Amino acid sequence: MNRTERFYKIQETLKQRSPVTFSALQRQLEVSRATLTRDLAYLRDRMRLPIVYNRETGYQLKIEQVGEAQIELPGLWFSASEIHALLTMQHLLANLDPGGILKSHIDPLITRLDKLLGATRNDAEEIRRRVLIVGLGKRPITLTHFERVGSALLQRKRLLMTYAARSSGQTNQREISPLRLVHYRENWYLDAWCHLRSGLRNFSVDAIQSVDLLDRPARIVASRTLDQVFGPGYGIFSGKRIQWAKLRFTAERARWVAHEQWHPRQKGKFDAEGSYLLEIPYTDDRELLMDILKHGAAVEALGPKTLRQRIKQELNSLNKKYE
């Protein structure tokens, strides 16, 4: 528990109106006597919380002196993950069919989120104006398709869908057993067993053109198997053979890349010249290729040879277009 969390915990405990002893506060916060003494002094002297002490009963807030609305902690802020989660939930709920049957259930959630966002004595609407959650590359999906995919997942039923594969440009009909929905880089993907190809495949939900729920049980695949097929490589694409991309970024670009996570199993280090060496596992190079090329001349692929050749082909194609 960090200092800010302790401050809120102390405040909420003291707001219960019943006096609390020092030892009870110390047990609740799991801190040393010296730390709690400093926290109480800081809250009282610097943040002006009306904390009063009685030798016989302990500590409490003197709400009668200032009123309930004036005992919120000023100047405290959310962590990066907290503000991102709160604003993302606000955004999702605000766009979730406001006139539909879920409205009566959603409104109380939005009210509670507003209270959380305003807990630091800032207006919730003002926070939303000053902190933006920007999503790039989001592709729209058909709501009915998403609902049927979700229903099939819960009921463990098969789906018959018309799917437009962007990689080949072909459209065909497939019977699939949906296994897992994945939200990745602002878009939804479906891990499924494809009965046409007799294997595990990953589908973009936005590329589904039509879909029907079938009254046939889905094929069950263990989560561990899904992780083994879809998890080891780089990005959303799957594959069986794991290779390791070895990339070298210039010293200037390393100031950014050295702080980024490209993959949970990545390996990174600086060389003697200040360049950053990054190693990443991958099974399919399509997404990795795009992320490498966006760094332009600031990155060099040291290996494997097949990856260097793919990058060279892409660059040659670009050069021909701009000759």
For residue 47, give the nearest of 94, 14, 93, 1 by alpha carbon: 14
Report whether 162 contacts 208 (CB < 8 A): yes
Query: Where do the H-state alpha helices sit in the chain?
Result: 3-14, 22-29, 33-45, 63-66, 80-94, 103-117, 124-130, 143-155, 223-230, 251-257, 286-293, 305-321
Mean pLDDT score across all residues of the chain: 83
Please, what is the end-to-end C-alpha distance for the chain in angstroms?
60
Confidence of residue 254 (pLDDT cuts 50, 70, 90): very high
**pLDDT range class, residue 101, cuts 50, 70, 90:** low
- What are the C-alpha distances in Å from 302 to residues 198, 257, 291, 292, 306? 36, 16, 15, 12, 10
Domains belonging to the chain, first-starting first, are 3-70 (1.10.10.10), 80-130 (no CATH), 143-230 (2.30.30), 243-321 (no CATH)
pLDDT tens-digit profile of 43-87? 888 777 888 888 888 888 876 544 444 445 555 556 667 777 777
Q: What is the pLDDT of residues 141-166, one digit of tens each?
A: 888 898 899 899 999 999 999 999 88
- Gap between the Cα atoms of 98 and 74, Å rounded: 33
Question: Helices in 200-304 by DSSP H: which ranges?
Answer: 223-230, 251-257, 286-293
Question: Which comes out higher in pLDDT, residue 121 or 93?
Answer: 93
Strand arrangement, sheet containing 276-282: 267-270, 276-282, 243-249, 299-303
Comparing C-alpha atoms, which of 282, 298, 187 is closest to residue 235? 282
How far apart, in whole angstroms, are the C-alpha atoms of residue 131 and residue 160?
Answer: 42
Q: What is the pLDDT of residue 12?
A: 82
Which DSSP string corresponds to 68-80? Answer: GGG-SPSS----H
**What is the mean predicted confidence (pLDDT) over 29-42?**
90
pTM: 0.64
What gap in Å lies between CA 198 and CA 108, rounded to an integer? 46
205 has pLDDT over 90: yes
pLDDT recorded at residue 76? 54
Interaxial angle between packed helices 33-45 and 22-29, expressed in degrees from 0 to 180 and rounded to the nearest 10: 110
Instruction: Say how far apart CA 318 and CA 314 lie, in whole Å.
Output: 6
